[in-house]
Chain A
């Protein structure tokens, strides 16, 4: 794996890795360890060191229906965004890969939302989907009160899901397109000779061959929806209405920094970490066994 190794000056080698190791230790390993420590301890009311409480914080978290609500909301959000993102970006990549006139313009333009900051995308979508200004509000003129993300939890969820999906499609699209373009041309041409039409080739050759990419993106999108959604929620819904969009990462922020309960937030962080670790492990396993057809 690491086969190069031409130089042997060990002091120089150490000097080159120390800065990053130091940063990683201070900003990654230490905080992660501290989260574990906090999750199993409670702060003393009158100062002094923390008191060991075992699983108490986790018990508090798991007994709280608000927590289970945020888990449920996160799962719905993750499933909905991932489904939309994968299906739309794969379809677009398949169509662009047919290389009809103009395909370069499309592949250029579809990538642009990648550059959007989450809060900027959130604010833009909040305007476009506002119940009393902008565009979608027009349907309220025909059917009064049918659309109002400020009061209706379902509408709010639709809003944040669409925003996250819009922001991520470009990123996923370029991966699918790259995967499709790496399929050898003779393969496609041979199947065309054998009488497979364009749709048939998409379904029976191209889609199976991009499965590794699809699986990889599936995990990336699930992880992203758990960790990268804060900006959108904070600008559009603040987790509301009535906690309908109270995603786990938003709840951690709220419990930790607004309610100042570090132990509770740490326990919630640990659960989220475990979730992300499991997803990442699945991804690593898959990367190792990645199938190479070409």
Chain B
């Protein structure tokens, strides 16, 4: 650094170390609690050294929480959200940035405004739409005087129900738009000159250029989709077949606040739920951080 500040340096290191402890210790406590038997976990204070019952607790809760199915569902829906989002965002932004037509500002704002109201604040009517997803189109048709009757299409208890409302947001579109705007216009002009059509330009030039962008967005979306809780809770009623992993945590908690859960298995369930997104964010941290920061610029 610029000058010698031994005292300040010592204070800095101590504070950083203490905060490291504060921030990471909940993870350790979850892990330690998940490895104790019922008696040890309820001892106050609980021994911080892990016990020998981790496997036992995990296998008990694996059956109790139906995690085989739940993790598969979480994985499928998160991957679908990720792929759908990355694909949709890239083509929409491509159209908005690289094509010349009058309505493109309108399109941009129509999508951009959705950033304003997250799913949680419009949860009740969105649920009603999911129960019959063609009803908005049907009512629009009726309004315009068409007599066409669309079939009822119920999204409750389907992957489409879990995935589509999460894909219908603007975050990724915005990220891609920001990125495309940094690509020099001459590149598109040159491609055109060489006889490449828009789709070829998209596929052979933009795609390879946006690889790291794509990875960043994919990692962010995966964590986001995996951690969804309120929406799956509503849209999935057939919990035996379609429950996601986060939803199963609710089953570890007795109704009402008075009665405590069985802590060692509850923490084993928490461990199961938190590990996949934690791995993604540890391995892909650099990408995620860069993605987050460019989205918000």
Closest to B25 in A: A128
A31 and B129 contact, CB distance less than 8 A: yes
Name the A residues within 8 Å of B141 (CB-CB): none
| Contact residue among B13, B128, B198, B230 (Cβ-Cβ distance under 8 Å from A31) | B128
Could you tell me which residues of chain B, from 36 to 82, have a CB within 8 Å of some CB in chain A? 41-46
* Interface contact A6-B258, CB-CB below 8 Å: no
- Given A20-B168, A112-B24, the answer on whether A119 and B99 have CB atoms closer than 8 Å is no
A294 at interface, CB cutoff 8 A: no
Task: Let me know if A4 and B45 touch, CB within 8 A.
Answer: no
CA distance A103 to B128 in the complex (A): 49
Interchain nearest-CB distance for A275 vs B (Å): 9
Is B116's CB under 8 angstroms from A13's CB?
A: no
Known contacts A4-B97, A150-B257; is A95 also within 8 Å of B15 by CB? yes
Q: Verify A110–B20 contact, CB threshold 8 A.
A: yes
Contact B281 A16 (CB under 8 A): no
A3 within 8 A of B: yes
Query: Complex formed: what's the CA distance from A193 to B103 in Å?
Result: 54
- Whether the pair B88, A19 counts as a contact (CB closer than 8 A) is yes
State how many angstroms separate the Cβ of B68 from the closest Cβ of chain A: 18
Given the known inter-chain contacts A119-B249, A134-B263, please indicate yes or no for A27 contacting B19, CB distance below 8 A. Answer: no
Question: Is there a chain B Cβ closer than 8 Å to A125's Cβ?
Answer: yes
Please provide the chain B residues from 157 to 190 with a CB less than 8 Å away from any CB of chain A in the complex: 164-165, 167-170, 173, 180-181, 183, 185, 188-189
B136 A30 Cβ-Cβ under 8 A: yes
B19 touches A92 (CB 8 A): yes
Q: A117-B227, A124-B270 are in contact. Are A110 and B19 (CB under 8 A)?
A: yes
Chain A residue numbers with a CB within 8 Å of B44 are: 132-135, 137-138, 140-141
B23 and A7 contact, CB distance less than 8 A: no
Q: Are B3 and A192 in contact (CB under 8 A)?
A: yes
B207 contacts the other chain (Cβ, under 8 Å)?
Answer: no
Is A211 located at the chain interface by the 8 A CB criterion? no
Mark interface residues in A249-284 (1 if CB within 8 Å of B CB, else 0). 100110011000010011001001100110010000
Q: How large is the interface on B (under 10, 10 to 19, 20 to 34, 35 or more residues)?
A: 35 or more
CA distance A170 to B22 in the complex (A): 12
Per DSSP, chain A at the interface is helix
Interface pair A113/B260, CB less than 8 Å apart: no
Query: Smallest distance from the beta carbon of B99 to chain A beta carbons, Å?
Result: 4
Q: Which residues of A contact B91 (CB under 8 A)?
A: 16-17, 19-20
**Nearest A residue to B120 by beta-carbon distance?**
A227
List B18-34 residues whose CB lies under 8 Å from chain A: 19-20, 23-24, 26-27, 29-30, 33
Q: Are B277 and A117 in contact (CB under 8 A)?
A: yes
Q: Would you call A124 and B45 a contact (CB within 8 A)?
A: no
> With A118-B227, A135-B46, A198-B8 in contact, is A17–B136 under 8 Å at CB?
no
The 9 A-B pairs with the shortest beta carbon distances in the complex, nearest first, are: A6-B188, A31-B125, A13-B99, A115-B281, A16-B95, A117-B227, A5-B100, A23-B168, A30-B136
Interface residues of A (CB under 8 A from B): 2-10, 12-14, 16-17, 19-21, 23-28, 30-32, 34-35, 38, 88, 91-92, 95-96, 98-100, 102-103, 105-106, 108-121, 123-128, 130, 132-135, 137-138, 140-141, 149-150, 156, 166, 169-171, 174-175, 178, 188-189, 192, 197-199, 216, 220, 223, 226-228, 230-231, 234-238, 240-241, 249, 252-253, 256-257, 262, 265-266, 269, 272-273, 276-277, 280
Chain B residues near A (Cβ < 8 Å): 1-3, 5, 8-9, 12-13, 15-16, 19-20, 23-24, 26-27, 29-30, 33, 41-46, 88-89, 91-92, 94-101, 104-105, 107-108, 110-111, 114-118, 120-129, 133, 136-137, 164-165, 167-170, 173, 180-181, 183, 185, 188-189, 192, 197-199, 201, 223, 226-227, 229-230, 233-234, 246, 249-250, 252-253, 255-258, 260-261, 263, 266-267, 269-270, 273-274, 277-278, 280-282, 285, 288-289, 292-293, 296
